[in-house]
């Protein structure tokens, strides 16, 4: 790892639907049931399908994980060769994303197990003695708490105790490392969030140090100690959530106001700091800001950002292997898509970092449902019998069983009158004959 590089901590450029489809044809089905043979059962699906965009994105992300549960990142070295490495920071972000979307718990469980291995845990947060990294301790602790794991007893270590040991007298979560102290505002924010979630209250000094880093325009910088405080969308998005959780609403509101000004006409965000208009609007920064806007109740701006994120997502018209993924800034690239999708899912789900939980989440990693809608069965209209073209006019058909004849709703009176008349005549004849015989 190069000095100053913190894989997975930064969400900016370059680093950084469960509705099941229901198609109802009630009228057709009711009619067909009377005449048609019973429908055959639909074949079982080989994978869970969804039309929910957030779940589809999280499902695609889960599909990028390795068998052990971690995600990889790659870079091109000085010789032009592509180097791939397990990205623990991205994996922690993905764990948060799975829980925010409410899916992929099988993947989430594998990721937790992977982090629990000593080599992987030491490689990400430090060994706790010679190397110890505040930002990574904060992010992993937050992700573990959301998953239902205990950061105070994970991998045989108390991660929150180690985080507290890194807090300076001013309240800054520093790094103890041979590479130097590269702690920043993002790491500080994750530390505050992790302690708040685990303890139920924010760490006072650490929260105060975060507040002191706020720029005069209301935003937060990426790094501490800048000569000129330049607000960053990514840093502000996480810092605002930390301050809201700590009850520092005044400072959080100032950060939200800055985010509203930084939002581009498309609804998206970039993270160019002072040069906001010169950098591409992207999924990572937009997802980060969107999550903060939701947490702060800025619904209109959040909805606009969400609409923009949808424009970056690959749908059913794209290659099957890419469907559900969210591009960084409009073009799919294999190296950027996992990180872009992770940031996008956190924003699309809209759940604040402090409230992310695995409760009720499904085990499956769903895929985008691109099955064509079934064509409704054709219906036929009964053909009316044409009226005769010759002879007397025929009254309208009111009896479907006998068109052209009035419905027979009672006794046929004419028949009874004829029978009665005949009986009367026979009776009269018998009476006459009887009288003659008597005479």
Whether residue 263 is contained in a domain is answered as yes
- Least confident residue range of 59-68, 291-300, 414-423: 414-423
Whether residue 432 is contained in a domain is answered as no
Q: Which of 326, 304, 303 is nearest to 313 (CA)?
A: 326
Residue 6 has pLDDT above 70, yes or no: no
What is residue 275's predicted lDDT score, i.e. its pLDDT?
Answer: 62
C-alpha dihedral (63, 67, 73, 75), degrees to nearest 10: -120
Whether residue 31 is contained in a domain is answered as no
Q: Please write the tens of the pLDDT for every residue from 241-262.
A: 999 999 999 999 999 999 999 9
Q: Give the Å distances, CA to CA, from 251 to 48, 208, 235, 370.
A: 43, 11, 14, 45
Residue 60 has pLDDT above 70, yes or no: yes
Tokens describing residue 41 = 């059962």
428 falls in which pLDDT band (50, 70, 90)?
Answer: very low
Residue 121 has pLDDT above 90, yes or no: yes
Whether residue 5 is contained in a domain is answered as no
Number of domains in the chain: 1
What is residue 317's predicted lDDT score, i.e. its pLDDT?
Answer: 97
Whether residue 410 is contained in a domain is answered as no
What is residue 21's predicted lDDT score, i.e. its pLDDT?
Answer: 32
- Least confident residue range of 142-151, 337-346, 352-361, 375-384: 375-384
Residue 181, number of CB atoms within 10 A of its CB = 15
Q: What is the C-alpha separation between 126 and 175, in angstroms, rounded?
A: 9
Q: Kindly state the percentage of the chain with pLDDT values over 70.
A: 74
What is residue 376's predicted lDDT score, i.e. its pLDDT?
Answer: 76
332 falls in which pLDDT band (50, 70, 90)?
Answer: very high
pLDDT, mean of residues 106-126? 98
- CB-based contacts of 192, cutoff 8 Å, min separation 6: 138, 202, 203, 206, 207, 210, 242, 245, 246
Residue 277 has pLDDT above 70, yes or no: no
User: 357 versus 2: which is more confidently predicted?
Assistant: 357
Dihedral-angle region of residue 132 (phi above 0 means left; psi in -120 to 50 means alpha; beta otherwise) = beta
Give the CATH number of the domain where residue 72 resides: 1.50.10.20
User: 37 versus 217: which is more confidently predicted?
Assistant: 217
C-alpha dihedral (386, 391, 395, 397), degrees to nearest 10: -30
pLDDT, mean of residues 353-367? 97
Provide the mean pLDDT of the chain.
82
Pairing of strands 49-50, 367-368: parallel
What is residue 404's predicted lDDT score, i.e. its pLDDT?
Answer: 32
420 falls in which pLDDT band (50, 70, 90)?
Answer: very low
Show the domain range for 257.
46-368
What is residue 374's predicted lDDT score, i.e. its pLDDT?
Answer: 80
Whether residue 38 is contained in a domain is answered as no
Tokens describing residue 33 = 């049931």
In 73-157, which residue ranges form alpha helices assigned H by DSSP?
88-101, 105-116, 118-125, 134-147
Q: At what angle do helices 299-312 and 283-295 cross, to 10 degrees?
A: 150
- CB-based contacts of 67, cutoff 8 Å, min separation 6: 110
What is residue 115's predicted lDDT score, i.e. its pLDDT?
Answer: 98
Residue 410 has pLDDT above 60, yes or no: no
Residue 377 has pLDDT above 70, yes or no: yes
Residue 271 has pLDDT above 70, yes or no: yes
pLDDT, mean of residues 104-129? 98
pLDDT, mean of residues 207-217? 98
Secondary structure letter of residue 331 according to DSSP: S
Q: Kindly state the percentage of the chain with pLDDT values over 90.
A: 70
- CB-based contacts of 166, cutoff 8 Å, min separation 6: 132, 134, 137, 173, 174, 175, 176
Whether residue 111 is contained in a domain is answered as yes
Q: What is the C-alpha separation between 281 and 327, in angstroms, rounded?
A: 11
CA–CA–CA angle 14, 17, 19 (5° rounding): 155
Whether residue 67 is contained in a domain is answered as yes
- CB-based contacts of 77, cutoff 8 Å, min separation 6: 83
Residue 294 has pLDDT above 60, yes or no: yes
Residue 312 has pLDDT above 60, yes or no: yes
What is residue 403's predicted lDDT score, i.e. its pLDDT?
Answer: 32
Tokens describing residue 80 = 């032009």
């Amino acid at each position: 790892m190069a000095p100053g590089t913190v894989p997975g901590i930064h969400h900016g450029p370059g680093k950084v639907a469960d509705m099941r489809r229901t198609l109802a044809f009630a009228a057709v089905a009711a009619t067909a049931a009377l005449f048609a043979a019973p429908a055959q059962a639909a074949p079982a699906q080989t994978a869970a399908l969804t039309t929910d965009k957030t779940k589809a994105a999280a499902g695609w992300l889960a599909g990028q994980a390795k068998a052990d549960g971690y995600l990889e990142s790659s870079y091109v070295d000085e010789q032009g060769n592509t180097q791939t490495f397990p990205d623990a920071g991205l994996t922690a972000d993905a764990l948060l994303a799975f829980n925010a979307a409410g899916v992929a718990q099988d993947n989430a469980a594998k990721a937790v197990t992977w982090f629990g291995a000593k080599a992987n845990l030491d490689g990400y947060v430090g060994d706790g003695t010679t190397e110890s990294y505040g930002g990574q301790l904060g992010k992993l602790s937050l992700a573990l708490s959301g998953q239902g794991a205990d950061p105070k007893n994970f991998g045989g270590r108390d991660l929150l105790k180690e985080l507290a040991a890194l807090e300076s007298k001013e309240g800054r979560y520093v790094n103890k490392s041979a590479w130097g102290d590269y702690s920043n505002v993002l790491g500080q924010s994750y530390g505050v969030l992790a302690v708040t979630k685990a303890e139920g209250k924010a760490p006072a000094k650490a929260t105060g140090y975060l507040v002191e880093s706020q720029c005069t325009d209301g935003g937060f910088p990426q790094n501490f100690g800048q000569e000129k405080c330049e607000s960053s969308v990514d840093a502000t998005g996480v810092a605002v959530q930390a301050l809201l959780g700590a009850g520092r609403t005044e400072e959080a509101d100032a950060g939200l106001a800055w985010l509203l000004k930084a939002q581009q006409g498309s609804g998206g965000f970039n993270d160019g700091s002072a040069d906001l208009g010169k950098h591409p609007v992207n999924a990572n920064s937009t997802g980060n800001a969107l999550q903060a806007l939701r947490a702060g109740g800025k619904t209109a701006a959040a909805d606009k950002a969400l609409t923009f994120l949808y424009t970056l997502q690959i749908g059913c018209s794209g290659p099957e292997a890419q469907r559900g993924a969210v591009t960084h800034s409009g073009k799919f690239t294999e190296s950027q898509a996992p990180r872009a999708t992770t940031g996008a899912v956190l924003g699309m789900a809209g759940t604040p970092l402090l409230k992310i939980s695995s409760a009720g989440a499904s085990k499956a990693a769903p895929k985008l449902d691109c099955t064509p809608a079934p064509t409704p069965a054709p219906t036929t209209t009964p053909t009316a019998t044409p009226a005769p073209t010759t002879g007397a006019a025929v009254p309208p058909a009111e009896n479907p069983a006998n068109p052209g004849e009035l419905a027979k709703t009672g006794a046929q009176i004419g028949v009874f009158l004829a029978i009665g008349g005949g009986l009367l005549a026979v009776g009269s004849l018998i009476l006459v004959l009887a009288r003659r015989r008597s005479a």
